[in-house]
Amino acid sequence: MKQVDKKKGHNQLVRKELIAGYVFAAPFIIGFLGFTIIPMIISFYYSFTDFNLISEETFIGVKNYLRLFSDQRFLKSVRVTLIYVFSSVPLKLIFALAVAGLLTQQKRGVGLYRAVYYLPSLIGGSIAVSLVWRELFARRGLVNYLFESIGLDRISWFGDQRMAMIPLILISVWQFGSSMIIFAAGLKQIPVTYYEAARIDGANRFQVLHRITLPSISPIILYNTVMQTIAAFMSFTQAFVITGGGPNDATNFYSLYVYRQAFTYYDMGYASAMSWVMLLLIGAVTLIIFKTSKFWVFTESGD
């Protein structure tokens, strides 16, 4: 009898723990369903329709997807976005790793400098900072003033198709704080004995970096590469505020073009199709990164 009561009490305790778990998980589950899964399902349906947010949608099959291949602005937005991603992400990671290396040294005030360098990542994507950046690179902005002070000509950053992308890449590189913090945490986990053994063997700094530091933090490099690549594909605020996609669509990022199709031209069906193609594009690039990681990512198991 006591054993039955004990088993019953245990079951009630387990049931209470399950209920408590569901209660605490409910806000995330509801938010995930309401703001992610359900909107994705709806957008997938709209991608096969002609829908302008006003009249009732009309099912048109795959015409929106076929239309993408004849849309020159769409193809240019893909090219512009790929240039931005493959330029800004490597530069951001290089700067983040370099600064992380400096800020992991045993120096006075390192904690303060680490917080200062992380600050741009907290505010860098805001509209206010984008406006400041636009003024810095304006025709009579601070950057051109500095160029003139050393005898160089002013540059029309936002009027020249060849130069308009540079400020956007630089503002992305400037926001390297989150990657820097992760790199710093990884660098601190490398055993000091590795570096001591390298010094005894007479290794120089480049050999230490190439043979010890980079292989030891290669899983962290992979993580930062994937996360920053996804974030770069979804960049919107900088191009929207600083350049407006110009000149001549030279900075018309993919996400900006999706926004304009949806909320400027009210072609929601076409914008939904573009969004799903963007998802596939990001997935393909991420898959390539993971597939190639076996050649440069090292683990403790030796794989």
Q: What is the DSSP string of the chain?
A: -HHHHHHHHHHHHHHHHHHHHHHHHHHHHHHHIIIIIHHHHHHHHHTTEE--SSSPPEE-TTHHHHHHTT-HHHHHHHHHHHHHHHHHHHHHHHHHHHHHHHHTSS-TTHHHHHHHHHHHHHHTTSHHHHHHHHHHTSTTSHHHHHHHHTTPPP--TTT-TTTTHHHHHHHHHHT-HHHHHHHHHHHHTS-HHHHHHHHHTT--HHHHIIIIIHHHTHHHHHHHHHHHHHHHHT--HHIIIIITT-STTTT--HHHHHHHHHHTS--HHHHHHHHHHHHHHHHHHHHHHHHHGGGT---TT--
Answer whether 169's CB lies under 8 Å from 91's CB: yes
What would the mean pLDDT of 153-167 be, rounded to a whole number? 90
Last residue of a domain, one of 46, 63, 80: 46
Residue 291 pLDDT more than 80? yes
pLDDT of residue 303: 53
Q: Quick one: 7 and 131 in the same domain?
A: no
Q: Quick one: 41 and 174 in the same domain?
A: no
Residue 268 pLDDT more than 70? yes
Q: Quick one: 75 and 170 in the same domain?
A: yes
What would the mean pLDDT of 129-134 be, rounded to a whole number? 88
Of 76-85, 123-132, 259-268, the one with minimum mean pLDDT is: 123-132
Residue 288 pLDDT more than 90? yes
Q: Quick one: 114 and 230 in the same domain?
A: yes
Residue 61 domain-assigned? no
What would the mean pLDDT of 101-114 be, rounded to a whole number? 73
What would the mean pLDDT of 156-164 be, rounded to a whole number? 90
pLDDT of residue 74: 95
Residue 58 domain-assigned? no
- Residue 281's pLDDT band, with cuts at 50, 70 and 90, is very high
Q: Quick one: 35 and 91 in the same domain?
A: no
Query: Pick the residue with more confidence: 15 or 251?
Result: 251
Domain, as residue range, for 31: 2-46
Q: Quick one: 87 and 15 in the same domain?
A: no
For residue 90, what are the contacts with CB-CB under 8 A and spacing of at least 6? none
Answer whether 43's CB lies under 8 Å from 269's CB: no
- CA-CA-CA-CA torsion for 122, 125, 130, 136, nearest 10 degrees? 50
Q: What pTM was computed for the model?
A: 0.87
pLDDT of residue 125: 55
Q: Quick one: 131 and 236 in the same domain?
A: yes
- Tokens 């949806």 correspond to 262
pLDDT of residue 240: 93
Residue 268 domain-assigned? yes
Answer whether 229's CB lies under 8 Å from 278's CB: no
pLDDT of residue 90: 95
How many domains is the chain built from? 2
Residue 282 domain-assigned? yes
